[in-house]
Amino acid sequence: MSDANAPVIRSTNLLAPPVGMDIAFSDPQGISDLIDKGSAYKTLSAVHKNTGETSGGWFRNFWALGEKGVFDGAEPFFYNQNFINAAKQSFQAEVIRPVAMMTNLNLPAPGAPFHLDLPFFRGAQNREVPSWMLAPMGYSGLFHNWAIPVASAITWFYDGVGGEFEYWPNGLNRPSLTESPPYSNRCVLADNEYMYHRVGAIGDPAEQNNYDDIGYDATLCLSGDRKWNVVEDGKTTAMFDYGQVRVSVLWKAYCFKNEVEAGSFDDHSHDLNPQMVADIFCADMKSRGIPFTTPGDFTTDKIWKDKILSVYRAPDGGASY
Ligand SMILES: [Fe+2]
């Protein structure tokens, strides 16, 4: 018998195997049109309100958030039946609820470290805890019983050099798989909160840059001659051919095994709260003999933040987005 109050146990390793799709969207031209319409793009830091931080050459906009479309015209793509079917298959789930959709536009850059995506936990998925806390919660493995299974479908539109997607479906100590360009409308749906993955170097080495000088308020604008322009303080500081920018569209959906599991998510009968999160971290550090001070306000206690970020991190310290 299913019990709505029972902890939800995911496999500690990969729960859901990746599913590749050669044709992600039946209307790829519609996607291209929306990508053009999304200009001017904000930096990743600005979109996520990480005030004052640079995000290098990474720009984004949201098409859907909190289970709702937020960008005019994106709704049909948000409910893409190809993704819903693949998520059911991969996650062995009956109830698929699209939760977010976003674009990523990346300038030519060196490869990024492998990482897990920011996880979703029951009771911590709507900013109940500060966003900096989500990555360490995921890397710690301590909140596994509250993890919401999430399918991530990444579709690429990039025919340039590099930019491969490398992923480790059987863990970091087993061989990786790689999706390489040219890819247009090609997609992999996977368990990116549990499966390590990374993006390889984008563009020729001579084109690559870390863009540490691109500020929080910079924008990426498409000009009439179809060039991507980095604009800061009203001035164009860098320009790229259309095809030099690696475009990907990321879709995420909650995957509930059945209506009972979805119901226990909806009625909040198995939710974390911020105090539980702190208590679980503290109990773990105490049991491991790691010194720490009792946390104050999570949003202002810098000592607590630095401690948690240093103790619970990806094996090579990769960032999560
Ligand atoms: Fe990722």
Extents of the domains making up the chain: 19-134+147-271
Distance CA 72, CA 37 (A): 10
Angstrom distance (rounded) from CA 152 to CA 115 = 14
pLDDT at 240: 97
Burial 35-51 (b: 16+ CB within 10 A, else e): beebbebbbbbbbeeee
Task: Write out residues in the chain with pLDDT < 70, as ranges.
Answer: 1-15, 316-321
The pTM of the full predicted model, rounded to 2 decimals, is 0.89
Which amino acid would we find at residue 71?
F
CA of 171 from ligand 1 middle (Å) equals 15
Q: Which residue has the tokens 């109990």?
A: 283
Alpha carbon of 42 to ligand 1 centroid (Å)? 18
Tell me which H or E stretch contains 95: strand 95-106
**Distance (Å) from CA 238 to ligand 1 centroid:** 26
Separation of 2 CA from ligand 1 center, angstroms? 33
pLDDT of residue 4: 46
User: Could you identify the residue written with the tokens 């109830």?
Assistant: 95
pLDDT at 312: 95
95, β-bridge pairs:
256
Provide Rg for the chain, Cα atoms. 20
Residue-wise pLDDT for 31-40, tens only, equals 999 999 999 9
* Residue 11: predicted pLDDT: 60
CA of 139 to the centre of ligand 1 (A): 14
Report percent pLDDT > 90 for the chain: 77
CA–centroid distance, residue 198 to ligand 1 (Å): 7
- The H or E element that residue 38 is part of is none
Q: Distance, CA 181 to ligand 1 centroid (Å)? A: 17
Res 217: pLDDT: 94
- pLDDT of res. 16: 86
Give pLDDT tens digits for 272-284.
Answer: 999 999 999 999 9
CATH 2.60.120.620 fits 19-134+147-271, yes or no: yes
Q: What is the pLDDT of residue 9?
A: 59
